Amino acid sequence: MLKSKLEFYAKITTPGGREITRRVEEDIPDELNPHDLDEFMSSFDDYERHALKTRNGICKEITQAWLDDQAKKGA
């Protein structure tokens, strides 16, 4: 069964015009039941955990790529 995916794309453009891009994705839960509030809230909490994990992952990756680029300039 196919799952929904949450994808984040990030791009840093340096003053010299160089673009550093990264993409991350995470499967997200599809089982949201709007007819049962407790079940819905639990499923939505699970979705939020996946979303935050993905967001934090893209920030970490793009920052590391940018720092690597800065280190090359200083070498």
The answer to whether residue 52 is domain-embedded is: yes
Number of domains into which the chain is organized: 1
**The whole model's pTM is what?**
0.74
The Cα 15–Cα 49 span in angstroms is 35
Q: Is 33 left (phi over 0), alpha (psi -120 to 50) or beta?
A: beta
For residue 20, is it within any domain? no
Give the range of the structural domain holding residue 46, as residue numbers without chain letter: 29-75
Sequential pLDDT tens for the chain (75 residues): 678 899 999 999 988 898 999 999 888 888 777 788 888 888 889 889 989 999 999 999 999 999 999 898 776
Residue 18, domain member (yes or no): no
Beta bridge partners, 67, equal none
- List 6's β-bridge partners, or say none: 26
